[in-house]
Amino acid sequence: MLVFIEVADKINIMKTRNQRASSRKRLIIALIIIVILFVLAGLAYYLYQKKHQTKISPAPTPTITQLPKQPASNNGEKKPTTPNTVNDGTATDNNGQISEPISSSPSQWTSSASGLVTVKKPIAGEVVTNGFELAGTAKVSKLQYRLLDNEVGVISRGFINVVSGNFSVNVSFSPHSKAGRLDVFTTDDNGVESNEVQINVRF
């Protein structure tokens, strides 16, 4: 009878050991999964930060809500005139074929806040002349650009094809002042702009 009880106790002890071992195993597996998830999340966060840290374009100029008061033209008198338009230049699309030279210093490039658009030519403050090359890389299929003159506003605009991640156009324009701004951006079906890059240029 005693022997029988001892055998039963041994079996119980073995069962308890087995149960403990099983619990430990589960704990280790759960820890491994948590570690893998942390590593993946960390890696994703690192890549995301790295991607969006570099060369982000300066914060857009605050929106103008009101200009200094302008007197009514000719005291409200009007006379038929023509032409009444600022002539828009256009661009010749090189379909992603970027010409050399191009700045090898990424710090001189300008990217959109989203990181989807990077303009490598021209660089900020560069003097641009009629026919200059606007080029860079983008993770979208189509872009638009507009060249602003500090005196009369838009003086050139057009679409840009992105081919294999690169874009390049030669921009034609006639300046009215000595400086301006180059905007490169994407638009949705409603024309709403996003992923904008703004570069101040000189004429």
Nearest alpha-carbon partner for 163 in 104, 72, 87, 94: 94
Least separation in angstroms between CB 149 and other proteins: 6
Report the nearest approach of other proteins to the CB of residue 29 (Å): 5
DSSP 16-85: HHHHHHHHHHHHHHHHHHHHHHHHHHHHHHHHHHHHHHTTBPPPPPPPP--PPP-PPGGGG-----S--S
The binder of other proteins chosen from 4, 5, 82, 101 (CB under 8 A): 82
| Residues 96-135, mask of contacts with other proteins (x by CB under 8 A) | --------------------x-------------xx----
Radius of gyration for the chain, computed over Cα atoms and rounded to the nearest angstrom:
32
Which residue type occupies 179? A
Q: Which of 4, 5, 105, 189 lies at the binding interface for other proteins (CB under 8 A)?
A: 189
| Total residues at interface with other proteins (CB under 8 A) | 79
| Gap between the Cα atoms of 180 and 47, Å rounded | 34
How far is it, in rounded angstroms, from Cα 93 to Cα 162? 10
Residues 12-51 as x/- pattern, contact with other proteins by CB under 8 A:
--------------x--xx-xx--xx--x--xx--xx--x
Structure tokens given for 156: 């050139």
Encoded one letter per residue, x for contact with other proteins by CB under 8 A and - for no contact, window 131-170 reads x------xxxxx---x-xxxxxxx--xxx----------x
CB of 12 to other proteins, least distance (A): 23
Query: Is residue 86 a contact point for other proteins (CB under 8 A)?
Result: yes
Q: Indicate the residue among 109 and 183 with the shorter CB distance to other proteins.
A: 183
Whose Cβ is closer to other proteins: residue 80's or residue 101's? Answer: 80
Distance CA 133, CA 121 (A): 7
